[in-house]
Amino acid sequence: MQNKYNRFLKNRLNTSIILSFSKYNFMSFAGVIKLSMLVLFLNIIAIPSLLKAQNWEQISVIGSNQILSITEHNNRIFAVSADQIYESDENGNSWKPLPVIPITGSSFYTIYSYKGILYIGTVNEGIFRSADHGNSWGIMNTGLPQSAWGIVELAAIGDSLFAATDFNGVYVYNLSVNSGWKEFNTGLFQFGASSIFASGNCLVANLGYYLFVRSNNHSEWNTVFVDSTEIQRLFFDFIIQDNYLFAGTDNGIYRGSLEGTNWVSVDIDAFPTRDIGAFAVDGNRLYAALLFGGEHWIFSSDDYGDNWEIKAHEFSWLYDMLVFKNRIWAARLDGLWSNSIDGSTNIDEPVSSIPDNFYLSQNYPNPFNPSTKIEYSVPQNGFVSISVYNLLGQKISSLVNEYQQKGNYNIIFNAKDIPSGTYFYMIKTKDFTQTKKMVLLK
C-alpha cells in the first residue's frame, strides 16, 4: 500500500549525490541529518527546476502530497491521497479538498466512479460510498469480513460491484438489491490481490503473481498466462482500447482479447521487460507509464502497441494517470501533475545496458503487503549481498548473498511471516554500501 508518509526521493540525480554519503548507514544519526539537509535542498531548489523543464504543472492546492489514485466523475477529476480527497472544476483548472471526507482511522488507497456513485477503498477499514459527488459518505462494509477490509481496487459489470482485497480474494456486491458483499473466490488458489479490472463482461484479476479470468457465464475463475513460458507475473494495470485489452506487468506490456486470452507481447523496444505501472487512453492513442529506478517515462502508441514513442520523463514515481480535457494527468509520489497531450517529445529514452554505477532502487510498492520489488545494478562482477533489518538493526532476511555478473537485477521480498513495521534493506559489495527504508502494512 502507498501513503503520504512515505515521501522518498527516487531519482538518479538524488541517488548520485547520496552515494557520496554512503559511509553513513542507517545506524548513523550524523548521516541521517546530512542526508535530510540534502533532501530538503533537492526538494526546494533542484528537483522543481527539473520538473518545470518538461512543462508539467503541479496542482498547487495539493502540493507534494502523494496522490495514489485518480478518476473522472461527474465531469470532474477526483484525486485521493492517504488522508484527503480533492476535486477539480469542469476543466481541471481549479482544485479544492472536499469539505467532507469519510471518517476513518485508516488511510485511503483507491477511488472509483461507477453509475454516478463515488467509492473509496481504504487500507484496512473497507469501502465508503457517496451518492452526491462527495458531499456525504456512508460506510459500505455489510457482508465484508474485517479480514477483507484492505481494499486494493474496485471494478464493476452491470449491477455487480467487485472488490479486490489484500488478503481475502474478491467480493461482489449486487447494486440492484443492496444485499451486501458476498465472496467471489471459486477457482482461486491465491487470495492476495494486486489489481482487478472489468473487460466487457469479463473480469481479470492479479492475485499472488497469477492472472485469473472470469466471465459472467462462468461459475469460477480460471488461470491465464500471457506468454508461453507460463511464468508468474505481477499485473499493475489494465486498460481497454477498441477491441483489445492491455496489461501492464513487471515484464512489460501485453495485448490480449477482451476476454483476457490470446496474449502477445507489445513491449517498448527501447526499454523492454520493465514495470508498466499505469495506462491511459485518448481516442486512438494509448499511453503507458514505465517505472524504473524511482523515475517514470510515459510512452504513447497510435497502433495498439506495435510501436511506441516517448512523451515524457519525470524524476518521480507514478501511481495512476488519465486523460481529461486534452491533458494527461499523473498521480505521483510528489503530488498531482498535468501536461498537454500535444507536448514535446524531445526527451532521451532510458538506456537498457550494462550499468556504469552501483544503484539500489526504492522498493515498489511501498508501503507493501506482503510482497515488494527491489531493483539494483552492479557495474562490475563481484560478491553482492542484500539483507533486510528491523529497527533494532537485527537481520531478519537475506535476499541476495552470492557472486554476480555485472548487470541490472530485481528481487521480490515476501514479508508474509513478519509483522507490520518499518524495515531497512542494505546492499553491500566490495566497493559500495547503501541502505533504504520500507514500510510493511498488514
pLDDT tens per residue, range 218-273: 899 999 999 887 888 899 999 999 999 999 999 999 999 999 999 999 999 888 89
- Residues 247, 212 share a domain: yes
pLDDT band at 10 (very low <50, low <70, confident <90, very high): very low
What local confidence, expressed as pLDDT, does residue 4 receive? Answer: 27
Grid cell at residue 44: 526546494
The pLDDT of 3-12, averaged and rounded, is: 28
Q: Domain of 211: which CATH number?
A: 2.130.10.10
- Residues 315, 221 share a domain: yes
pLDDT band at 13 (very low <50, low <70, confident <90, very high): very low
What is the model's pTM? 0.70
Choosing from 289, 314, 340, the residue where a domain stops is: 340
pLDDT of 327 higher than 90: yes
- Residues 271, 158 share a domain: yes
Identify which of 125, 108, 212 has the alpha carbon closest to the alpha carbon of residue 170: 212
Does residue 346 lie in a domain region?
no
Q: How far apart are CA 342 and CA 334, in angstroms?
A: 23
The pLDDT of 293-298, averaged and rounded, is: 88
Task: Output the CA–CA distances (angstroms, integers) from residue 400 to 203, 295, 384, 436, in the order listed.
Answer: 37, 24, 7, 15
Chain segment 209-232, per-residue pLDDT in tens: 899 999 977 899 999 999 887 888
Tell me how many domains the chain contains: 2
Name the one residue in this structure whose C-alpha cell is 514515481: 317
Does residue 348 lie in a domain region?
no
- Residues 82, 203 share a domain: yes
Task: Of 23-37, 143-157, 307-321, 341-355, give the lowest mean pLDDT range.
Answer: 23-37
Higher pLDDT, 421 or 355: 421
pLDDT of 26 higher than 60: no
- Residues 421, 397 share a domain: yes
Q: How far apart are CA 279 and CA 239, in angstroms?
A: 6
- Residues 293, 252 share a domain: yes
Does residue 123 lie in a domain region?
yes
Task: Of 114-118, 219-223, 304-308, 359-363, give the lowest mean pLDDT range.
Answer: 359-363
The one-character DSSP state at 12 is H
Q: How far apart are CA 129 and CA 136, in angstroms?
A: 8
The pLDDT of 98-108, averaged and rounded, is: 93
The pLDDT of 151-180, averaged and rounded, is: 95
The pLDDT of 286-307, averaged and rounded, is: 94
- Residues 196, 134 share a domain: yes
> Mean pLDDT, the chain, as a whole number?
85
pLDDT of 340 higher than 60: yes
- Residues 379, 302 share a domain: no
- Residues 332, 379 share a domain: no
What local confidence, expressed as pLDDT, does residue 9 receive? Answer: 28
- Residues 376, 336 share a domain: no
The pLDDT of 335-364, averaged and rounded, is: 74
Does residue 135 lie in a domain region?
yes
SS3 (DSSP) at 51: helix
What local confidence, expressed as pLDDT, does residue 39 receive? Answer: 40
- Residues 318, 275 share a domain: yes
**Domain region containing 376:** 12-51+353-440
Does residue 6 lie in a domain region?
no
% the chain with pLDDT above 90: 66
- Residues 136, 44 share a domain: no
